[in-house]
Amino acid sequence: CTEVRFNSPLRLKHVPSGKFLAVDSSKSVGSTEKQFDVQDNRNEGSAEVGNGGVEEANRGVLYDVALLFDSDSSKDEGKLGSISSMLFYLMPIDLTSETLQHGAAAVRLEHRTADGQTLYFYAPHVLKPGINHTERPAPPWGSSKERGFKMCFSSEFSSLDVLRVQPLSDKDSEQLSYFISKIPLFKLYAYRWHTSALSGETVPVDLTECVVSQCMDLLHVLRKSPPPARHGGSVSENMRDAQVNGPLQFSVFHAGAAHTLLQKMCLELKLLDAVFDATVAPYNYNNLVGKGKVFQGLSHAENFKSVQMFLYVVVQCLVRDNLAIQKYVTDKYSRVWILEKPKVTPATIEDISDSDGEETEPKAKLIKKYVLCKDLIIEHGTDSLGATVTLGQLLKSSEAIIQRLVDNDLMLRFKHLVSSIGPELRFINLFNAICFIEGRPSRPSQEM
């Protein structure tokens, strides 16, 4: 690969998005003290200082960063998107070589402006309200996302802002490229459901086989000891498997211990998010077109049901026996689209009348909301396509997850499902997962 030299201009690429880091040095965004609610990570009297300590709260002025696909030669020097805004320099902490060696190295990241000023990488541990924070309130149990590292650049240097560059093996690089290559198809599948709702066109049925084929590939790679491919790897036969077997049995076909490191890689690359968003997409479609049961009245509905079951078993594989990722899923919000019809009152009748004075149907408004993924999984449980099995996968692993997910509302919703659908094994397993005695599941308690 190309040699990386210290104190030489380079660009930094964000692997999941394919975008490049850029800093806007043309305007500051204020000081740390004014801009951020900075958390002190130091214990009183301790010599240890973490990012976000009080020492950092008055560090010069800050400059914002963004991820961009490429530079724009028409932008003025220093402006976000200009060629110079995307150039950075790696500087060694201990200079033993002029180049970045194959082993791990501690470095500083700098950006240099046209007037000769040097800006330094700065990542305070701050309160992160996030986008549309009012639409995404924190979960009742609190969220690990309430605080995080805000990346920016500062006019003042601190010895705390050190990055550690880790070597990446050829195998790791191949795995990264493999997982990144899987994301666009899941995003396309979700996108086609959304555009179909708005345009009236149907989602191409050929897309279903592509998505199932990709799910089969992922299930083979993610498991430590995958069994031989069912039906010789035939996509059509595996889709038939999904159609003739219930979600619990179908999940058993694709069970098995997953690679923890690969699960983490899929989480960090946002592949898990892309898969889950694809599972939500048909329900968003239903909300937008005002249909009842998912896939109802669609041609080739069985194909779409097969995709849904495969998507859920991939989610199950990505969260299996991994408490950190399970907590991420319980904290995660997903965007849903809803058509909201305005209420008609005598005061509004005049506003919704046509030119002849006759009443017309009030126009529905398309709104988006952010809903906890666990609530969406529970909501999808009525359709017997894998949502309930996925919830059981989350619940059976840890009492900490049970405390996050189980409340009276959940119990009442599943009591209603059992009453309306019957005591299917997937519901029995779910209640079994909830019944814990001294940290261990108790089937007798559930059977009572």
pLDDT at position 278 is 93
Q: Does the pLDDT at position 112 exceed 60?
A: yes
Q: Does the pLDDT at position 124 exceed 90?
A: no
| Cα 228 to Cα 172: distance, rounded to the nearest angstrom | 24
Q: Does the pLDDT at position 445 exceed 90?
A: no
pLDDT at position 155 is 87
pLDDT at position 127 is 53
Q: Which helix (H) or strand (E) holds 127?
A: strand 125-127
- Residue 150 DSSP symbol: P
Q: Which helix (H) or strand (E) holds 110?
A: strand 105-112
pLDDT at position 352 is 46
Tell me the residue type at 350: E
Q: Does the pLDDT at position 361 exceed 90?
A: no
- pLDDT tens digits, one per residue of 145-180: 444 567 889 888 877 678 877 777 788 888 988 999
pLDDT at position 7 is 85
Please compute the mean of the pLDDT values over residues 375-390 and round it to a whole number. 80
Please indicate whether residue 29 or residue 214 has the higher confidence score (pLDDT).
Answer: 214
Please indicate whether residue 49 or residue 20 has the higher confidence score (pLDDT).
Answer: 20
Overall size of the chain counted in residues? 448
- pLDDT tens digits, one per residue of 170-211: 888 889 889 999 999 999 999 999 888 878 788 888 999 999
21 HSE (CA, 13 A, CB side): 20
- pLDDT tens digits, one per residue of 283-325: 888 777 766 677 777 778 899 999 999 999 999 999 998 888 9
Q: Does the pLDDT at position 356 exceed 70?
A: no
Average pLDDT over the chain, rounded to whole? 76
SS3 content of the chain, % helix, strand, coil (to 5): 45, 15, 40
131 HSE (CA, 13 A, CB side): 6
Q: Does the pLDDT at position 446 exceed 50?
A: no
pLDDT at position 262 is 94
Please indicate whether residue 229 or residue 37 has the higher confidence score (pLDDT).
Answer: 229
Please compute the mean of the pLDDT values over residues 2-27 and round it to a whole number. 85
Q: Which helix (H) or strand (E) holds 308?
A: helix 301-319
Cβ-Cβ contacts under 8 Å for 7 (sequence gap 6 or more): 89, 90, 91
Q: How confident is the model at residue 44 (pLDDT cuts 50, 70, 90)?
A: very low
Angle CA 370–334–187, to nearest 5:
135
pLDDT at position 274 is 94
Please indicate whether residue 140 or residue 324 has the higher confidence score (pLDDT).
Answer: 324
Question: Closest Cα partner for 302 from 378, 385, 422?
Answer: 385
pLDDT at position 406 is 72
